[in-house]
Amino acid sequence: MLFHELNNELLIAIAGHLPQDDLKTFSFVCHKFALVAHSDVVWKERLYNHYGITYKLPTENWKDMYARKSLDPQNSKMCPHIGHVTGKILEPYATKYQQVLNWLDKNLNCTVCGANCKDTGLCLYVWKGNTRNRCKDCAYSYHKAVEGHGILIRMNVLQMYCFDCKRLLGETRGDSSEAHYVNMLLKTLTHDSEKGQQAMARRSQCMEERQLYAEHADRASVVSDGKQYYFIERIWLISWFLRLCDGKIGTGPIANHELEDPEREGRLNPASRPRGNFKGGFSIVTPFLWNYLVDTYGLSGKAYTSDDTTGPEYCGLNESIVNWRLN
C-alpha cells in the first residue's frame, strides 16, 4: 500500500504518536502529510496519547489545550479520568439518578453498609456500568477493590469527585475546560426532569455564591478607600460559607439581631468584634453582597453599615477593624 492511500484518520493517529522532531520529518513526505501534520486534530490526538485528556473548551483549539495541559503534570487542574465518562456511559447512571430524586430521605441508604446518606449524599461510582448506590466510603472501597479509575457522583449536591486526582472536579481550582466538561455531563444526568434541573440550578448558585464570598466578604478591599460596608453576623456568614463548601446553599435569614446593642434598641452593639466563633461577632461585606444575601436569604434584625459607627462609643470597634489582618 502506498502512503498516499492511507486515509486521513489513520494519518492523524500516526502523527499523533510522533515526537515533535519526527513530526517535522513526517510533514516533509508530501503535501497531504504536511496538511495532516499541521492540522489541529493532531494535537487532539497527542493530548489523548500523552495525557489521556479528551476534552477542551469549545472556543479553544486543541493545540492551546495541549500547551495548558503540559503545565499540569499532577492533574490538579485537568483530570484525565473523567474523559472516560461520556454521555453514553452516563445513561444508566442518569436513569438511576432520576429514580433517586423521587425517593424519600429514609430510603437514601448505602446498599453496602446501610448507612443513611440524606445529608452526606448518596453516591454513584461511574465504572463499567455498575450503578449501585453507595456511601462515599463504600464507593472508595469499591474503587480500591476493582482498581478502577471511575468518577464519584455525589447525587444530593451534584458534585463529581476523582479518587485518583483526589479532588472535586469542575470546581474553582480546576481548569475551565474541566468545568465545562463536568457541566456538560451533569446536564446529561439532570436534564430529564424538573427536579434534576432545579438541582443543577442550585449547584450553579452555590458555585457563584462561593465566588461572591471570596471577593466580597472579610477582604481588605471591602474596607479600603473609605468605602461603605455592611456588618453581618459572623456565625451566620460562616455557616453559609461552610454549606457552600459542602455543595449546598445557605439557610434561614441573616441573624443580624445578634448584633444589636442590648441597651439601645436598633443600634449596633459597640462591644461587637470581628474575630471568634461566638454569636454577636461580625464580618464585613460589600453593599453588593449584602443586598444579594438579604434578597436571597432574608434578614432578621437590622442592617448596620460603616456609616453607623462614627460615634465615640465605636472607637474600640473601629480599631478592631483597623487591626484585623485582612487580605
Distance in angstroms between the alpha carbons of the first and the last residue of the chain: 67
Residue of 14, 112, 212, 249 interacting with Zn ion (CB under 5 A): 112
Residue of 85, 162, 186, 217 interacting with Zn ion (CB under 5 A): 162
Q: How far is the CB of 68 from Zn ion (least distance, A)?
A: 16
Q: Return the range that interacts with Zn ion (CB under 5 A); candidates 25-33, 48-56, 224-232, 306-314.
A: 48-56
Q: Mention every residue, 6+ apart, whose C-beta is less than 8 A from residue 215.
A: 221
Give yes or no for residue 160 binding Zn ion (CB under 5 A). no
Give yes or no for residue 18 binding Zn ion (CB under 5 A). no
Kindly calculate the radius of gyration of the chain based on its CA atoms and give it in whole angstroms.
26
Q: How far is the CB of 109 from Zn ion (least distance, A)?
A: 8
Residue of 15, 23, 65, 79 interacting with Zn ion (CB under 5 A): 79
Residue of 68, 69, 77, 81 interacting with Zn ion (CB under 5 A): 81
Q: Mention every residue, 6+ apart, whose C-beta is less than 8 A from residue 108.
A: 100, 116, 117, 118, 122, 133, 156
Q: Mention every residue, 6+ apart, whose C-beta is less than 8 A from residue 166.
A: none
Residue of 23, 65, 85, 135 interacting with Zn ion (CB under 5 A): 135
Residue pointed to by grid coordinates 471511575? 150
Give yes or no for residue 108 binding Zn ion (CB under 5 A). no
Residue of 15, 42, 108, 110 interacting with Zn ion (CB under 5 A): 110
Give yes or no for residue 113 binding Zn ion (CB under 5 A). yes
Strand partners, 61: none
**Residue among 256, 287, 255, 260 at smallest CA distance from 271:** 260
Q: Mention every residue, 6+ apart, whose C-beta is less than 8 A from residue 20.
A: none
Residue of 25, 49, 99, 251 interacting with Zn ion (CB under 5 A): 49
Give yes or no for residue 164 binding Zn ion (CB under 5 A). yes
Instruction: State the helix-helix crossing angle for 62-69 and 41-51, rounded to 10 degrees.
Output: 30
Q: Return the range that interacts with Zn ion (CB under 5 A); candidates 4-12, 20-28, 129-137, 222-230.
A: 129-137
Give yes or no for residue 42 binding Zn ion (CB under 5 A). no
**Of residues 47 and 165, the one with the C-beta less far from Zn ion:** 165
Cβ distance 123 to 97 under 8 Å?
no
Rounded to whole angstroms, how far apart are CA atoms 203 and 92?
A: 22
Task: Tell me how far CA of residue 13 lies from CA of 45, 47, 51, 74, 286, in angstroms.
Answer: 7, 12, 15, 26, 54
**Of residues 120 and 320, the one with the C-beta less far from Zn ion:** 120
Rounded to whole angstroms, how far apart are CA atoms 171 and 208?
A: 11
Residue pointed to by grid coordinates 429514609? 106
Q: Return the range that interacts with Zn ion (CB under 5 A); candidates 1-9, 101-109, 164-172, 279-287.
A: 164-172
Give yes or no for residue 78 binding Zn ion (CB under 5 A). no
Give yes or no for residue 138 binding Zn ion (CB under 5 A). yes
Quote the DSSP letter at residue 86: -
**Of residues 42 and 284, the one with the C-beta less far from Zn ion:** 42
Task: Tell me how far CA of residue 297 lies from CA of 27, 187, 219, 249, in angstroms.
Answer: 61, 26, 22, 10
Q: Return the range that interacts with Zn ion (CB under 5 A); candidates 23-31, 107-115, 266-274, 308-316.
A: 107-115
Q: How far is the CB of 15 from Zn ion (least distance, A)?
A: 10
Binding site for Zn ion (CB under 5 A): 17, 49, 79, 81, 110, 112-113, 115, 135, 138, 162, 164-165
